[in-house]
Amino acid sequence: MVFPALFFVAAMAVRADQTALRSGCDAQDSIVASLPAGTPVEVRFRLSDGSDCFKVAATIDGKDVLGYVPASALTGLERYEKERSSAASVDTLRALNPVATETKEAVARTGDPALDRAQQLLDANRPEQALEQAQIAIARRPRDPNVLVLAGLAAYRADQLRAALDYWKQAQDIAPDERLAAVYERVKREANSDRSGDKLYGIHVALRYEGEALPAETARAILAALDSDYSTIAAQLGCASDERIVAIVQSREAYLRSTGAAEWSGGQYDGRIHIAWTSGSQVTPQMQRALAHELVHACLTSIPSGSKPWPSWLQEGLAQKLSGDTLSATAREQLRQLAQTHGIPKLENLGQNWSRMSTQNAIAAYSLALAAADALYLNYASYGIRNILTNPESLPRITADLDVKLGL
């Protein structure tokens, strides 16, 4: 699989005269234009499939052209790499976790029933209802920054970005917080760059998409696939919600601009599903797996996990397995060899945030998570996956058992 890199606007230019701008990265791909030496190019993304190829935009004789060139044809690579290595990965929910945890504790101390109910609804992945309760509390506590932060989080997950920014701005004016300020800037960037304004509503999912990039017929097919897959996933895992899950489908470039996702990412879940659409007008099997993958994350979010979030290995393992991914024999052998040499960590040491991993480490982590999910189904089928999720206190014991079975 090709993993497009994070979007950057880097100051780069063509190195040699008559550089071929091609329709793809292969030397046999057709030539779109010939670029004079020194032609400035805007990097759209870099492929990390081994070809070391860039997709770039340039202007020739007043005409905008788009195509691919090898890294060796460009100057300014050093600056590009510097920007790339220093760019922050945007994972808004995880970035908000410290603030949300403190807010949750502060809200609990108020004894306000509306706030208690708002927090319960948010934990159950029902952000619209949580926002209604938070607004009741705001009427009583208009200057309480914790209430405003909670309302902003509910609004964000309900896909009301402007409202979320307004609540967080009010909270910042009352009690400045560097962590909230960083999240505010990220969400502000998303709100300013997102052009996905067309909407469709299904039974379980509310779809927002780019009408210019995605035909309405394709959008309806995506919504039908999401609704159908959610029913299947909910039956297996035991999740349920009386609110629609928000799914945002964008072109690859718009996805990278608005989310700041990691280079290997084609989708993410941050309280809303984000998908980079790369399949033309058809919902291909690969794209349907991507949609189902993020639905699993949405499903798990609505299932209480106890005092800690569901671990990433469980989230990503179940997301891959229930979306139809399988681990190749080669990948299994590589994992076995890494386990023998202690080249991979135990499941409980994989960590929660994978968004800053390199492509190579991300592939290894996802492979290990899928192997763990396979082992979970194989060894605990009689116990029941839904039963495990209903009793999160059993997960540490089960994780340790899977470590042994995987040779970790």
**By C-alpha distance, which of 395, 400, 327 is closest to 365?**
327
Tell me what pLDDT residue 234 has: 92
pLDDT of 41 above 70? yes
For the 92-193 domain, the top CATH level (class) is mainly alpha
Q: Is the pLDDT of residue 25 over 70?
A: yes
Average pLDDT of the segment spanning 183-194: 82
Given a cut of 70, whether residue 187 has pLDDT beyond it is: yes
User: So what's the pLDDT on residue 90?
Assistant: 39
pLDDT at 287 over 60: yes
Length of the chain: 408
Percent with pLDDT over 70 in the chain: 86
CATH topology of domain 198-301: Glutaredoxin (3.40.30)
Percent of the chain with pLDDT over 90: 36
CB count within 10 Å of CB 4 equals 23
Q: What is the mean pLDDT of residues 109-124?
A: 86
What pLDDT sits at residue 229? 93
Q: Report the mean per-residue pLDDT for the chain.
A: 83
Q: Please determine, for residue 83, whether its predicted confidence score (pLDDT) is greater than 90.
A: no
Pull the structure tokens for residue 84. 């790339």
Cβ neighbours for 389, distance < 8 A, ≥ 6 positions apart:
237, 238, 300, 303
Whether residue 387 is predicted with pLDDT greater than 80 in this model: the reply is yes
Q: What is the pLDDT of residues 249-268, one digit of tens each?
A: 888 777 777 776 655 567 78
Map out the domains of the chain as residue ranges: 12-86, 92-193, 198-301, 312-405
The pLDDT value given to residue 96: 66
With a cut of 50, say whether residue 177 has pLDDT above it.
yes
Question: What is the rounded distance in angstroms from the CA atom of residue 218 to the CA atom of residue 224?
Answer: 10
Strand-pair category, 273-277 with 245-251: parallel
Answer whether 310's CB lies under 8 Å from 335's CB. Answer: no
As a whole number, mean pLDDT of residues 78-86 equals 50
Report the pLDDT averaged over residues 102-107. Answer: 79
* Topology given in CATH for the domain delimited by 12-86: SH3 type barrels. (2.30.30)
pLDDT band at 331 (very low <50, low <70, confident <90, very high): confident
Determine the pLDDT at residue 296.
Answer: 93
Q: Examine the pLDDT at 373 and tell me if it is beyond 90.
A: yes
